[in-house]
Chain A
Amino acid sequence: MLIKLLFLILGAALISELVPKNKLPVLWSLFSSTAVLYFIYRLSLIGLSPEIYINYPWLKIPNLSVNLEIVINAANIYLVFALLLLSLLVLIQNTFGRETAKNSVNGLVLLNLLSTLMLVFAGNYMQMIVAVGVCDVLVFSSIDNVEAKKKYIYANFLADIGLLSIFAVILGQGGGLELSELAKYAQFGHHKDFVAIFLLICVFVKSGLFLFHGTYIGLYSLGFNRLNFVLYAATPLTGYLVLLKTESLLQISHYSYPLMQIFSVASVLWGAIGAIVIDHIKEKAVYLSLMFWGLVYAYTAFDSRLENLDFSLLLTASFLLSQILMLIYTAASNETDVSAMGGFLKNLKFTFVLTLLVLMSYFSILINLSAVNAILAWSGVILLLIVSAHIFSQILLGQSHADEKVQAMLKNPSLFLCLPIAVATVLICYYCKIAPWMLLLIMTGWLMFFIIRPLRRLDALYENDNLQEADYISMTYDLLIVTPVKIFGRLLWLTVDFVFVERTIINSIQKALNFMISIFQHLHSGTLSAAILFIIFGFLVVSIVWCYGG
Chain B
Amino acid sequence: MESLSSLVNTVIVVPLLGMIFAAIAKENIKDNSNNALDVGILTVFANLFILWRLALKIDVTKDGWQIVEKFNWMENPKIEIVLGIDIFSLMLIAAVHLAVLLGMIGVRHYAYRQKALVVLSLMFLSMINGYFLASDFFSFYIFFEALLLPLFMMVGIFGDVKKQQILYRFFLYNLLGAVFLFIALMVLYNYQNVSIREVNRIVLAGRGEVLIWGAVFIAFLSRIPIWPSHYWISSVSVNISNPLVFIIANIIPLSGVYGLIRFFPVDAPEALDPYLLILEIISIITMLIIALIGFSKKDIHYKIFSYMTVYYIMYLLGALLPTDALLINIGFSFFSYLVIVSALEVIVAHIESQIGENNSCGVLYSIRRASIIFSFLILAAIGMPLSSMFLNNMVIFSGLLKFNIKMAVCILLAIILTSVSLLQQLFYLKYPSAEVLASPRECCITDISLKMFAFMLLIAILLVLSFINPLWFIG
Contact = CB atoms under 8 A, between A and B. Distances in A.
Interface of A: 58-59, 61-64, 66, 126, 129-130, 133-134, 136-137, 140, 146, 149-150, 153-154, 157-158, 160-161, 164-165, 167-173, 190-191, 194, 485-490, 492-493, 496-497, 500-502, 505-506, 509-510
29 contacts: A58-B468, A59-B469, A61-B392, A62-B329, A63-B325, A63-B326, A129-B385, A130-B390, A130-B391, A133-B384, A140-B379, A146-B431, A150-B427, A157-B383, A158-B416, A160-B383, A161-B412, A161-B419, A165-B397, A165-B412, A168-B394, A169-B398, A169-B401, A170-B398, A172-B398, A172-B402, A485-B296, A489-B296, A509-B172
B405 A164 contact: no
B178 to A, nearest CB: 16
Contact of B398 (A59, A171, A194, A487): A171
A64 B391 contact: yes
Contacts of B408: 165, 168
B293 A489 contact: yes
B340 interface: no
A184 to B, nearest CB: 17
B373 to A, nearest CB: 14
Interface stretch (B134-142, B227-235, B440-448): B227-235
B382 A137 contact: no
Interface of B: 168-169, 172, 227-228, 231, 234, 289, 292-297, 325-326, 328-329, 332, 379, 382-386, 390-395, 397-402, 405, 408, 412, 415-417, 419-420, 423, 427, 430-431, 468-471
A62 B296 contact: no
B168 A488 contact: no
Contacts of A158: 416
A134 B395 CA distance: 19
Nearest to A169: B401
B329 A146 contact: no
Contacts of B332: 61
Contacts of B289: 492, 496
Contacts of A496: 227, 289, 293
A63 B328 contact: yes
B402 to A, nearest CB: 3
Given A171-B398, A488-B292, A492-B289, A136 B172 contact: no
Given A62-B325, A501-B231, A506-B169, A485 B295 contact: yes
Contacts of A194: 405
B394 A167 contact: yes
Contact of B401 (A63, A172, A497, A506): A172
A160 B390 CA distance: 11
Contacts, number: 137
A66 B388 CA distance: 14
A525 to B, nearest CB: 26
Nearest to B286: A496
A191 B408 CA distance: 13
* Nearest 5 pairs of A and B residues by beta carbon: A489-B296, A172-B402, A172-B398, A489-B292, A168-B398
Nearest to B294: A489
Given A61-B328, A61-B329, A63-B325, A137 B292 contact: no
Given A136-B384, A164-B383, A165-B397, 20 more contacts: A62-B325, A133-B390, A150-B423, A157-B382, A157-B419, A164-B393, A164-B394, A167-B398, A168-B394, A168-B398, A170-B398, A173-B402, A485-B296, A488-B292, A489-B293, A490-B296, A492-B292, A496-B293, A506-B172, A510-B168
B231 A164 contact: no
A435 to B, nearest CB: 45
A153 B384 CA distance: 11
Q: Is the interface of A mostly helix, strand, loop or mixed?
A: helix
Contacts of A165: 397, 401, 408, 412
A140 B415 CA distance: 20
Contacts of B392: 61, 64
Contacts of A160: 383-384
A150 B401 CA distance: 29
B296 A487 contact: yes
Contacts of B383: 157, 160-161, 164
Contact of B296 (A167, A170, A486): A486
Contacts of A164: 383, 393-394, 397
A505 B228 CA distance: 9
Contacts of B296: 485-490, 492-493
Given A489-B292, A497-B234, A171 B427 contact: no
A255 B383 CA distance: 30
B100 to A, nearest CB: 26
A234 B112 CA distance: 50
Contacts of A63: 325-326, 328-329, 395
Contact of A161 (B328, B386, B416): B416
A126 B391 contact: yes
Contacts of A497: 231, 234, 293
B329 A486 contact: no
Nearest to A131: B385
A497 B395 CA distance: 33
B221 to A, nearest CB: 15
A157 B381 CA distance: 12
Given A150-B427, A171-B395, A489 B382 contact: no
A485 B417 contact: yes
Contacts of B417: 485
A149 B391 CA distance: 25
B328 A493 contact: no
B235 to A, nearest CB: 9
A376 to B, nearest CB: 35
A126 B398 CA distance: 13
Contacts of B169: 506
A501 B390 CA distance: 35
Contacts of B382: 157
Contacts of A510: 168
